[in-house]
Chains A and B, each alone.
Chain A
Amino acid sequence: MNNTGIPLKDPAVSAAAGDTEQLERAYIDASTRVPVLMFYTSAIAWLIVGTVLAMVVSFKLHSPDLLSGISFLTWGRLRPAHMNVMVYGWASMAGMGTAVWLMARLCRATLRFPLLLAAGAVFWNVGVLIGVGAILLGDSTGFQWLEFPRYVAVILFVAYTLMASWAVLMFRYRRGDQIYITQWYLLGAFLWFPWLYAAGQLMLFVVPVQGVLQSAVTWWYANNLLFLWFGAIALGTAYYMIPKVIGRPVYSYHLATIGFWTYALFSSWTGMTRLVDGPFPAWMITASIAATILTMIPVATVGLNHHLTMQGYFPLLRYSPTLRFTVFGAMSYTVFSVLGVLISFRSVASYVDFTQVSIAYSHLGLFAFFTMTIFGSMYYIVPRLVGREWRYGSLIKLHFWASAYGIGLMTLMLLAGGFLQGANLENPALPFSESIETVLPYLRGRSLAGILLTVSHFIFAYHFGLMLLGLGRTSTVPTFLNPVEAETSGGH
């Protein structure tokens, strides 16, 4: 299996402990090495591309003459390019990497024919590349979150089928009866994504629906992608990583079951909250608002479950990078969902409908919740694939704080700016330009936050590059954020 030249962590170390399970795990990890590292590498490459795009987009919003005049650098093309790179390039690839690895681990099955999975990743990358190129060259479809032209959708779909069927097949060959919570979420995500994508493409391009329904389908797709694809992967990951790192089972399976099914049921109905007050039958919007309020049930159960699992183990956040990122992500899930409920109320929505608040909401979901959780899982998984430990604890710490402060500042700026913008928009005594003037300083603040996030992503990419080149530490002890004085319970 070791055909990549990447040194595999020597299984003999664990075998000496007489633990065949360790050995088995090492083999499973080895089987996933090529595809998962490939997912991660391309995801991180896209992350860097998307971050650079994000910086330009953010600066251009308050300095409109920057780089203008060139068609493919115009703000209206860079913005969807950034969005699609992040959604389909970074988040989907990274999420799939983590999901495939977790699936193999939890099914206790080695991944068969990993190179085919890798081929899927190649196709996917090609699809995203062509798609982003098409957007920059002016071939966007104009549907938010689905800007990639149709021919790209076909490529992505083929690539996805290659990849996801693998994960589902793995599920078929699993050993053991018990299906762990993480597997529910991952199986759900792997099945929901193609259905969503197919339904979206079908209703927008193949048999296009009439008029405003196009918008309804777009936002139904977008919100479901956020919840049922990214959200499900992130929640599944958190359900694995938190108990794993602290070495303690999940507090309650019962709560987890309730959380999963209510999540699937309610969050899939929230799409129309993006169109409150729009030209739609009122019942559609009301149903979505009701569903959004009901998502508080999974938020409460998942949050409670994680909290009770963590209880007594919070000091570990000082040491374990995985735990720190994952817990940050899990907590952000609560913040994200609560904000989602608040801004869906009709009285609030009428103020924030058309403001930067919706940008804050998307970034809370995709960055603070999903991306941070995935960073956590990468800190756990990558050492097991390359057989080296992360080289610098200090870089991980920097990555964490730059990300945490970056997204925190960004959210605050966009929320504060957005609410003021909305208040001015709703005051007809003020000229329209006033609402823009109000929000501009906050957008500059957001650019500042963007610099922090850029720094954090470059640090992470550099660190990951070191790992990939085999320049990590050779050690049996994982890299901790802070030196461990006493004995630490559990791994990392």
Chain B
Amino acid sequence: MKGLAPLFLGIFGTFAFSWVGLTVIPNWQIGSLNPQSDEEGTEIYPRPQSGMFERGGHVYAANGCVYCHSQQVRADYIAADIERGWGNRRSAPRDYIFERPVFLGKMRMGQDLANIGARAPAPEESPAPAGAAASPAPAQAASPSSGTPPATAPAALPGTSPASAGSPNASPPPGQRTGVASPSPGQMANTTPGGSSPAAPSAQTPSAPWPIQTAGLPPMYSAAWHHVHLYAPRSINPDSNMPAYRFLYEKRRIAGERSAEALQLSGSDAPPQGWEVVPTYDAKCVVAYLMGLNQSHPLKEVRTVGGAPAPAASPATAVQGTSPSPAPAGAPAAPKK
């Protein structure tokens, strides 16, 4: 080949072609999406997140959570993500418009986290925090000291179900969550094996999905549970290969009375008598971040698949898949009661 000009132009041209094609044009297409709102403009999704959520995202980045956890739910006709209970619809670009950085992830050495916040048990205060998904406050309130008499739950009944912690009546009728902006209660992927029905057949427990609600621990996916899980993953699931993030916690001598934030640890992970383990601010932020990850709000551009399996309608199937029929398919579930 002779001459520098054609070579240079070719090198530049191929680069520019790819740059325009794969980044600039997509930026025109989906680079300035707005939140979706209904006619009255009351239900807006997604909403900007709290400062704690944002900081939590940086903690998430700093500690490389993204190298094991994805945050994207694939469509039901492509993969088993929805059957696994990781979401009730595929993720769409609009879900991420306020996230920075975005952690779509490339690896699942751990579970998908796109909807981890949606799996949290219902906060005890019934008035759901409107859209303030990240708001860690109610979740914190659900921490061991204030609610959930943990040890009393018999082992065979792991589902110290979210709602049952409060008064049974506060248990939100599942149908109501249709189109509710807040990431409130029950939630589609309620992996709590026993479900909220105390009469849940205990036969299900042996094959319960991972992670398992362990007796004596805070309700699964509550803020308190996340703290225990981050501090001592193998106290929740002995087979977990998640590293412990103890450096996000502080072990200190109990001054006066035990802090309400102190982790509810047992066995060898528990601090010695007179000591307690409390989350640092970073730990609180990363948990606020996790609690804020929630793509359960329906979007017009994607079909919601699983509906919201009503807590009563054996939510376990959504996860265990022992019966392949993906729960009550179709529209957001009608109340069964």
- A interface residues, Cβ below 8 angstroms from B: 60-62, 64-65, 68-71, 74-77, 79-80, 138-144, 171, 177-179, 184, 187-188, 191-192, 195-196, 199, 203-204, 208-217, 220, 224, 228, 257, 261, 264-265, 268-269, 271-272, 274-275, 277-281, 284, 287-288, 346, 350, 353-356, 358-359, 425-429, 431-433, 435-437, 439-440
Contact = CB atoms under 8 A, between A and B. Distances in A.
A188 B32 CA distance: 33
B208 to A, nearest CB: 8
B173 to A, nearest CB: 28
Contacts of A142: 57-58, 60-62, 66, 101, 103
Contacts of B237: 433
Contacts of B324: 428-429
A77 B63 contact: yes
Interface string B25-37: 0110111110000
Contacts of A187: 7-8, 11
Given A64-B243, A426-B80, A437-B239, A265 B17 contact: yes
A265 B14 contact: yes
Contacts of B100: 208, 214
A74 B243 contact: yes
Nearest to A189: B11
Nearest to B74: A277
Contacts of A284: 22, 26
A211 B74 contact: no
B93 A350 contact: no
Give me the 3 closest cross-chain CB pairs, A-B, nearest first. A76-B64, A142-B61, A428-B321
Contacts of A62: 241
Contact of B21 (A274, A287, A429): A287
A387 B334 CA distance: 82
A392 B6 CA distance: 45
A463 to B, nearest CB: 33
Interface in B88-145: 90-109, 111
Interface stretch (B178-186, B244-252, B256-264): B244-252
Q: Is the interface of B mostly helix, strand, loop or mixed?
A: loop
B23 interface: yes
A217 B237 CA distance: 36
Contacts of A195: 15, 19
Given A143-B101, A431-B209, A179 B2 contact: yes
Nearest to B92: A279
B108 A354 contact: yes
20 contacts: A61-B241, A64-B243, A68-B243, A77-B63, A79-B64, A138-B63, A141-B61, A179-B1, A212-B93, A220-B18, A228-B15, A269-B22, A277-B74, A279-B104, A281-B26, A350-B78, A355-B108, A425-B80, A429-B321, A431-B209
B134 to A, nearest CB: 17
Contacts of A437: 239
A214 to B, nearest CB: 5
A141 B101 contact: yes
Contact of B243 (A75, A179, A192, A277): A75
Given A224-B18, A355-B108, A358-B107, A74 B97 contact: no
